[in-house]
Amino acid sequence: MKYTAAFALTALAFFTMSFKGDKNEHVDIHTIELIKNEGFNNSKVMDILFNLTDVNGPRLTGSAGMKSAEQWARKQLADWSLTNAAVEPWGGFGKGWEINKAYLAMTAPYYQALIGVPKAWTPGTNGPVKAGAVAVRIDNAQDMAQYAGKLNGKIVVMAPASSETKPNFTADASRISDDELKKIAMDPHTEEVATNLSQRPAKPNNTRGAAMALRKSIDSFFKAEGVVAVLSGGRGTMGTVFTSNGASRAWDAPTVLPEMEMGSEHIGRLVRLLDAGKEVTLEMDTRTTFQTADSVENNVVAEIQGTDPKLKEELVMLGGHMDSWHASTGATDNGAGTAVAMEAIRILKAIGIKPRRTIRIALWSGEEQGLLGSRGYVKNHFGNRLTMELKPEQSKVSAYYNLDNGGGRIRGIYMQGNDELRPIFTEWLEPFADLGASTVTIKNTGSTDHISFDEVGIPGFQFIQDGLEYGTRTHHTNMDSYDRMSANDLMQASIIMAAFVYNTAMRDEQLPRKALPKVNPAPDSYRR
């Protein structure tokens, strides 16, 4: 049958309305009110976040900061009387790395302290260095020849495509509008009813791999030419620096030059001066530490034991990734999700629930390098996504709930393509409509730890969140700190996550499952 757009929209509206208010799914309103009261009036979420971020600091996987945070989280969960609190290894990662010192300044034609952050997994200068600067523009392999013999003893400034920084007339922070929520809730087939997917133009070739290969050649060229250090820039204005990885894989940690990433305004000034023929002298003093051997990395887990004799062996899980990048303290990515998950399970413990199923929190490491901690955990406990060889425990997990889209409040939930969940999740969100959370969508958001569960057929979910400043100011930047958080948003998110976990733990049956996925042919992105 060929559907028209109008027909599809009408059908979708009828389908959604038919489930709204479906009372077949029991919601214990008394317990929901207890959760709300504890979460709003006795909240500990900002204290959790303070300890995770300000006290423990950056938490790059494999760093001392991450190890410290793991021990703190384990102790905190145990102090709340959760059972089986543990720091649990998931596998080998590679060489740990962290910053011990970072200083960058221009000393001629005048002195100016500059904002720069060492690229992850790059070496330091291991002492002060002072050298002239050279602006370099390399768009392809042929461009390198013009710099041969000209870079020895110099600090290279890799000129961005444009050094012009324009005023930004759009607010950094935003919430999801009602119209945007309606679009999120819309079935993707409705959006595409007039489009034959097979007739869409082919996607352009992947340029990321080519860019990485070119950069590897550039690094080798700079080393051979005797370059002292490299300064590079990317996204980021008004003092914001978006950080990245200086080594393609942490376990290889190939030998590259010391490199610092800079915000647009400071690298732009250097480029303008150099383009005008002015002599620019820079000084750097950076020190970074590599672990001497491959590290074994961990997740943090703890439980509230189930009480139903028939269901207590089943699991409801919640969590978020605890690792961060290194330029700041990783508050929105993903201190927020970690704090919300910890607060959610604290709330449930504080109000004295007796869940039928066991509730298990898991705080992951290695998410930023490819969901490594959650994939390692799932492989160890539930099944191998590459072969789809499943362990008996896989059938005992009713759901995993994740939070990792910034520091904003929850606006709804992604059903991960499983429309059988629509009446259930719609009913569960009704008590939170006045808190701005009511959207249920068949769509999915990817690239975070719920995917690790979905890959082996376990229902895994990510909540819809307000982004606030996530994409503009905090995601992987030197501005991702406690100061950018909203206490009310995190309290609301903690309450809703606690309610979903509680409802799942108390149901007579597990949540409906999709058909098992096919074998994932992609290899693991890490060495174990």
Structural domains in the chain plus CATH codes: 22-93+297-506 (3.40.630.10), 97-169+202-290 (3.50.30.30)
Phi, psi of 231 (to 5 degrees): -115, 130
Side-chain half-sphere exposure of 239, counting CA atoms within 13 A: 4
Mean pLDDT of 284-308: 93
| Contact in structure between 172 and 469 (CB atoms under 8 Å) | yes
pLDDT: which is higher, 255 or 489: 489
pLDDT score recorded for residue 190: 58
Q: Is the pLDDT of residue 71 over 80?
A: yes
Q: What is the mean pLDDT of the chain?
A: 89
CA–CA gap between residue 214 and residue 208 (Å, rounded): 10
pLDDT score recorded for residue 209: 81
pLDDT score recorded for residue 520: 64
The token pair that represents 13 in the structure block:
């509206």
Mean pLDDT of 77-101: 94
CA–CA gap between residue 101 and residue 286 (Å, rounded): 5
Give the torsion through C-alpha atoms of 343, 344, 350, 351, to 10 deg: 150
Q: Is the pLDDT of residue 10 over 80?
A: no
pLDDT: which is higher, 451 or 518: 451
pLDDT: which is higher, 151 or 250: 151
pLDDT: which is higher, 90 or 7: 90
pTM for the complete prediction?
0.91
Q: Is the pLDDT of residue 202 over 60?
A: no
Q: Is the pLDDT of residue 236 over 90?
A: no
Mean pLDDT of 5-14: 37
pLDDT score recorded for residue 234: 75
Q: Which of 168-177, 198-207, 233-242, 390-399 has the highest mean pLDDT?
A: 390-399
How confident is residue 193, by pLDDT bands cut at 50, 70 and 90? very low
pLDDT score recorded for residue 94: 85
